[in-house]
Chain A
Amino acid sequence: MLDNTTATNTNDDSGDPKIAMHETHQPELHVGHTSSFEVRAVAIAILGWILPGLGHALLKMWGRAVTVCLTVAFLVYLGAGMRGNLFAPGGEDAFARLGYAADLGTGSFYYLARALEVTGPDVSHADGDYGTRFLATAGVLNLLAALHAYEAARRRKA
């Protein structure tokens, strides 16, 4: 990113080549620094998605890391315990595909839910229907947390 200060300095006509060279190279360093920050932030977001809470843990936000991990784990456990519908890939309609995308938001916990729910879904009762929502909410919440970790890694207000 170029800022006003750098733009002014490149037009400096003081005649000192050291100063001119130093100030000309400043924007490249700035760009490289920003790019590495961006890569790090994306990596943190992806890791936070794969293992809920890991993104915040890498940023040493321990309270948020524990809360995200426990919340997503608890929602997945409750959803599976209520025998909610855990969507599989290759859904027939848009709702099933959207549900799968939401469920996949839990990252590795999706496979945990699949392992826990050995008897399959039962949405004939209110709790089964709620279980489906709990599982989807766990995914969406984890995606929100990963986005939050991404913003925090970019040193934005989070």
Chain B
Amino acid sequence: MTVLVPLRLSHFQCFLLFALIISLAFGTLGRRQPLERLKYATWSFAMFVVVGIALAWLMYPFSR
């Protein structure tokens, strides 16, 4: 018996989840004050999403 729940997520869901978790960690490690942490985490998340989508569109012509 295992405690592991099998996950079936789409590419985009994985991408958002990854960006969210890493942004929260970056915010906590990178800044000291709660408000600064929130701002930095939000900024990191936005950058992850924007740059990720931009790179995906750049690579799209080579995907087929």
A binding-site residues for B, Cβ under 8 Å = 63-64, 67-68, 71, 74-75, 77-78, 80-83, 116-118, 125-127, 130, 133-134, 137, 141, 144-145, 148
Asked whether, in the complex, the Cβ of B11 is within 8 Å of the Cβ of A67, the reply is no
Complex: A130 Cα to B22 Cα, angstroms: 14
Asked whether, in the complex, the Cβ of B9 is within 8 Å of the Cβ of A82, the reply is yes
Having A118-B2, A145-B25, A148-B29, one finds 20 other A-B pairs with CB under 8 Å, namely: A63-B28, A64-B29, A67-B24, A68-B28, A68-B29, A71-B25, A77-B4, A80-B4, A81-B5, A81-B7, A116-B4, A126-B9, A126-B11, A127-B7, A130-B14, A130-B18, A133-B18, A137-B18, A141-B22, A144-B29
Asked whether, in the complex, the Cβ of A116 is within 8 Å of the Cβ of B3, the reply is yes
| Interface size in chain B (residues, C-beta < 8 A) | 20
Asked whether, in the complex, the Cβ of B7 is within 8 Å of the Cβ of A116, the reply is no
Asked whether, in the complex, the Cβ of B2 is within 8 Å of the Cβ of A75, the reply is no
Complex: A144 Cα to B25 Cα, angstroms: 10
22 chain-A/chain-B pairs, Cβ below 8 angstroms: A64-B29, A67-B25, A68-B28, A74-B21, A75-B21, A77-B4, A78-B7, A81-B4, A83-B6, A116-B4, A118-B2, A118-B4, A126-B9, A126-B11, A126-B14, A127-B14, A130-B11, A130-B18, A137-B18, A137-B22, A144-B29, A145-B29
Interface residues of B, dominant DSSP: helix
Which partner residue on chain B sits nearest A116 by CB separation? B4
**Is B64 at the interface (CB under 8 A from chain A)?**
no
Complex: A145 Cα to B11 Cα, angstroms: 27
B binding-site residues for A, Cβ under 8 Å = 2-11, 14-15, 17-18, 21-22, 24-25, 28-29
Complex: A82 Cα to B14 Cα, angstroms: 10
Complex: A127 Cα to B13 Cα, angstroms: 9
Complex: A145 Cα to B22 Cα, angstroms: 12
Asked whether, in the complex, the Cβ of B29 is within 8 Å of the Cβ of A81, the reply is no
Asked whether, in the complex, the Cβ of B7 is within 8 Å of the Cβ of A141, the reply is no
Q: Given A126-B14, A130-B11, A137-B18 in contact, is the A81-B6 Cβ separation under 8 Å? A: yes
